[in-house]
Amino acid sequence: MKRALLVAAGVVGVIVIAVAGYTGYWFIAAGEIGDRIDDWAEKQRAEGLEIESGGTYVSGFPLRFEVTLREPRVLDTRNGWRWATDSLRAEASAWDFSEVTVYPDRRNSVQILVEGGEWRDIDAEIGGGRLTVRLDGDRRFQEVALDLQGVEVTGVWPERVAQIGSLQANGVAIDDDGSGEQVLKTSIAVRDAVLPSDLAEGLGESLDFLDIDASVVGSIPSERGTNEAITAWRDAGGTLELNDFRVRWGPLGIESAGTIALDGAMRPIAALTADIIGYGDVIDALIMSNMIPLGDAFIAKVAFNMLAEKPEDGGPPVLRGVPVTAQDGTLTVATIKVAELPPLPLE
């Protein structure tokens, strides 16, 4: 009996020591989180990012670390934008920091520096969602996954609102895919978006879906501003491999794949193939937007009608497997010039 009591006391003692040790670890680590966030913010300052908050609160004992930043603010002095919200919450397992999940606040305010040195206000309300960041063994970004629902954006277009039912985006960094190049595999899925009706004449306001599966080939220097970074990526031979592109916007439906790059004037260079439905409405939209002369539009419609398949069910004609190219600032579909492409607005 006495021996059993001693054994039980020993077991209890070990458990008490383990619990006390773990409790000490948790609270010490929780106390260091705020300091690490401050150190990280200071390092970002050298990259042109000014990160501030009204305070850090850590909870989640015993199984998790839940970090809440009060009134976080970010200013990118190099690229001319800033962001602010009331609070930002992140959490991770108490014994595994390789995956961090961030939960955005409902209200987010973004300002973008535009021509003339003025700031444009953009407000976004988010119904719900999360951002998940996965790190490799060296604590470098390995994968980022964004999942948002019920997004409403104002300020992008004056006095008009855009709504997105759901938005999912994913990025996976691969140092070498066998080609000797750094690759960022990306995907974007948008569902049930409502856009300003006059954004693209003839297409309406309902974007049913937008799916993009692409790979960014080549390194984009993170220590430079946006314009310099993309210029360096272009000069090093960077490309965007469009594995799959699908969109349904009003009458327009496109499925496409191919390669995209940038020329010396920052205009797209593209070699794609595409299936296109509703091209007549797109041509009408280009006419209304003054992007294509009336005579060219007429020629394009006649040519496309000759190339298109006519569904037996009487549906709209479909262009299948047609080449789509961009060269010297001109977008061409099946040898028909359809639009002029301006340089990317990166300044």
Q: Where are the domains of the chain?
A: 1-125, 157-347
- Please provide the size of the chain in residues: 347
Asked whether the predicted pLDDT for residue 6 surpasses 60, the reply is: no
For residue 234 the two structure tokens come to 């272009």
Highest mean pLDDT, choosing among 16-30, 98-112, 218-232:
98-112
Between CA 51 and CA 71 the distance in angstroms is 11
Asked whether the predicted pLDDT for residue 347 surpasses 60, the reply is: no
Asked whether the predicted pLDDT for residue 9 surpasses 80, the reply is: no
- Are residues 194 and 222 in contact, defined by beta-carbon separation less than 8 angstroms? no
Q: What is the mean pLDDT of residues 14-25?
A: 64
Pick the more confident residue, 287 or 100: 100
Asked whether the predicted pLDDT for residue 213 surpasses 90, the reply is: yes
Which three-class secondary structure state does DSSP give residue 9?
Answer: helix
Pick the more confident residue, 177 or 229: 229
Collect contacts of 320-324 with beta carbons under 8 A, ≥24 apart.
Answer: 320/275, 321/273, 321/274, 321/275, 322/273, 322/274, 322/275, 322/276, 323/271, 323/272, 323/273, 324/256, 324/258, 324/270, 324/272, 324/273, 324/274
Amino acid, single-letter form, for residue 203: L
Residue written as token pair 């054994």:
7
Between CA 225 and CA 304 the distance in angstroms is 42
Angle (CA) 180-183-184 rounded to 5° is 170
- CB count in 10 Å sphere of residue 27: 12
Between CA 10 and CA 22 the distance in angstroms is 18
- Are residues 174 and 184 in contact, defined by beta-carbon separation less than 8 angstroms? yes
Asked whether the predicted pLDDT for residue 4 surpasses 60, the reply is: no
Beta bridge partners of 81: 76, 112
For residue 55 the two structure tokens come to 């305070």
What is the pLDDT at residue 15?
Answer: 66
The tens digit of pLDDT for each residue in 29-83 reads 777 887 888 887 888 787 778 888 888 888 888 888 899 999 999 998 878 889 9
What is the pLDDT at residue 183?
Answer: 87
Angle (CA) 36-41-43 rounded to 5° is 95
Q: What is the mean pLDDT of residues 212-241?
A: 85
How close are the terminal C-alpha atoms of the chain, in Å?
Answer: 83
What is the pLDDT at residue 329?
Answer: 92
What share of the chain in percent tops pLDDT 70?
87
Asked whether the predicted pLDDT for residue 10 surpasses 60, the reply is: no
Q: Beta strands 330-333 and 318-327: pairing type?
A: antiparallel
- Are residues 275 and 318 in contact, defined by beta-carbon separation less than 8 angstroms? yes
pLDDT bin (cut points 50, 70, 90) of residue 223 is low
Average pLDDT, the chain: 84
Residue written as token pair 């592109």:
245
